[in-house]
Structure 1
Amino acid sequence: MKGVLYLEDGTVYQGKGFGKKGTSVGELVFNTSITGYQEILTDPSYAGQIITMTYPLIGNYGVNSAENESSKIYAKGFVTKAIEQKPSNYMSEQTLEEMLKNMGVVGVCDVDTRSITKKIRNEGALKCVISNEELSLEVLQKILRKEQLKEDWMKEVGTQKVFHIPGIGPKIAVMDFGIKRNILNNLKYRNCDITVFPYNTSYEEIMNINPEGVLLSNGPGNPEAATEAVETVRKIIKKVPTFGICMGHQVLALAVGGKTYKMKYGHRGGNHGVYDIKRDRAYITSQNHGYSVDRESVEACGMEITHINLNDDTVEGMKHKELPVFSVQFHPEGAPGPTDSTYLFDQFIDQLKEEKKCQ
């Protein structure tokens, strides 16, 4: 079947369709990872987006149930140069196309993904309609104009009820804005006793479990739309050591009184260089975000910048000058991508132990 991308500026890319037969609207973004397409697709942070992979061959090692970062795909569409239908890997359980069909995701391949990526880099992330239903361009244009992009996906993609993962270590409360499983796995690996709370959980309910630490998870959308969470976090950081990752980093910035802004095309991939100022060391990191923290605004609110992006000098990490609170914009758990920065989970646990000694 035929496939098409129709961009809000009128640009059209025609190729072949795969995955679920259908039509959907989303924000067109690109990811520079060479592997890890399954983890990327099942990362809730991609809710509402149409993902273009810059690496040309996707699907060559298939998919398996062990690599999912959540129970479903929240992305609106998937774009590749080529899609492999005969994967080769001992863990493969099905093809990528079969996964997309089962999870209801529209795909388009055999298009110039290099051209798409250059357009996004030049013009910024674009609203787009993806279809493999052989609809006319006039119909696609009407669909694109009619549908509005959402900014508050973090209110939908996380857990809808509290759940507990028992452990013999520190008691951690997790605010779920769309958490990846490997973040929880890193806490479980460190024997943490974990309670995961929905996005809109009140400060009082979280504090009822007497947490030793709070983790603010990753998630999709505009952090300024997370108004309830910002108010809750504003109270939490005055009482409990807190660690924010990605969306959690941005929510923390707003909670201390700082600002965030939408980037031109964001950071998405597994090869982003980040400089750890205190360690005087660079790390290659996994990233997925379209918003960033305004440096001057958080520095004026008592935050110290700990990490910066080596490509564009944007804020990649910060800590409070007085409170046991810190955060990073990148993904220390990787999945996909390097795990060089998993030391941050150990730093969080060590911080909890120090706070406990001081009490």
Structure 2
Amino acid sequence: MEKPVCVVFADAFAYSSYIQLGGLGEEFSVQKIKPGIAYSSNLHYLLFDGKTPDDVGFFTDYCWKKAEYNNPGKMKNSLDQIDTLNNLYRAFERKLTKKHDNIPFGERAFFECKGKYKFMESGECTVFGKKVVKAYKKTAEASFDEAEEQVTRGEKGIVVVLEILDHVGHEVGSEGTKYINAAKMVIERTKKLFNHFKEKNPDGTCILISDHGMGDVLTGVDVLNPMKRLFGLPGEKYQVYNDSLYLRIWADSNDMLLKIGSYLNKIDCLYQIDESNRQKYGVTKHEFGDLIYVLKNGYYFNPNCFGVSLRGGVAGLHGYMEPLDQVSGILVTEFGSGEMIDAMNVFNTVRDAIGK
């Protein structure tokens, strides 16, 4: 019989906020999670299933559509690169559809949106190798209420999925009053749920975890327009895609890659995901980019291909890879060491501790 487990997954619960609020109590140990690569869509599979972007087949949301477009040089440019016209069209499109990209007109055919979210999938759910039932409602309070009912019914494996801190964090940052109040509610309801679960399952394990924190948005960085001036329009000898924090380049020759890489490596706020780190994080496929860069904390790309600017004037972003308290996630358990843990090691560490 599998050991009972209750997991509260609080997307975007920052380590700094958890420490500030005092946490769950002395019986629990908190570990700061050193950020993994990319955004929530990838991090959920990494933390709960041990799967990298190579394993799940996508990195961030959009990938190069390799099956149909192997060579960036196949793309031709006409009205595709008229930024003002493109931006007006995309703004109108976002009002009518769920598409949020800002990929220029004729270029979208070269990219495929493959990103997906683990907990939005229907059917059976597993976390750390264990089958669990989801408590995933429209509000955090409703999700906790559902989990309490599941405990009362005798469920032995539960995962509560909370999005409130991610939504509020983008709006006000991780130090805003609205975010702190939401974090307090998460801690209070988590304590109550864990106490209830332990009453029913004295030998059970309780875990509070987040995938990342939330960094303050401070400075916009434009690389698209300088690249056009230096290397010509995308689609002739190279292609580029950047969202808020990640920049990816494809090129039809090593010479072009060297030229672009030499330019980008001189920008202080950019960090290249080099070959060794691509191997470490499992981001080796060509469709993820010939060159991959991520911005340092506090910066964002403007313009970018996921909206001409930050949609809605967001105050916080995640995806940064520096292990700062504000942008790092949390692993709160009864068996943790209290030391920082790499996101790449969370799955195996927890699975081994609670039993396969």
Structure whose alpha-carbon radius of gyration is higher: 2
Higher strand fraction (1 or 2): 1
Q: Larger relative contact order (C-alpha < 8 A, sep ≥ 6)?
A: 2
Between structures 1 and 2, the one with greater helix share: 2
Is TM more than 0.5 here? no
The TM-score, its normalising length taken from structure 2, stands at: 0.25
